[in-house]
Amino acid sequence: MRGVSINKKNNTALVTLSTKLYKIDNILSAAQRFTEACRVDVGGVVEGEVRVKLKPRSKNISIKTIGYEFLNYVLAEMKISEDT
């Protein structure tokens, strides 16, 4: 995973995830959960990476933390799928 990048000008966070570590199904499940709070754009898999762009729908949501919160959701989805 490369991590989280912030674009203050566009008020977006870009999360780059390795498909070697994170299953695409878990990433998509987390993205679906985030659609109420953010506009979510999941890019295609390029060279083993998925890029997820998050743009908060409310000014009360910090772009400084939303990318890391998304990562937590992906990890939770992985745990849920592991337990079932």
Range of the domain at 26: 3-83
Task: Round to whole Å and give the CA distance between 8 and 78.
Answer: 30
* pLDDT of amino acid 2: 65
Q: What CATH number did the domain enclosing 70 receive?
A: 3.30.70.60
Task: Round to whole Å and give the CA distance between 21 and 14.
Answer: 17
Q: CA separation (Å) from 72 to 9, 52, 55, 81?
A: 25, 14, 17, 14
For residue 20, the surrounding DSSP H or E stretch is none
Please give the average per-residue pLDDT across 54-62, as a whole number: 94
Work out how many domains the chain is built from and give that number.
1
Q: Nearest Cα to 78, choosing from 33, 39, 24?
A: 24
Other CB atoms within 10 Å distance of the CB of residue 73: 17
Please give the average per-residue pLDDT across 35-55, as a whole number: 93
* pLDDT of amino acid 1: 47
Q: What is the pTM of this model?
A: 0.89
Please give the average per-residue pLDDT across 56-63, as a whole number: 93
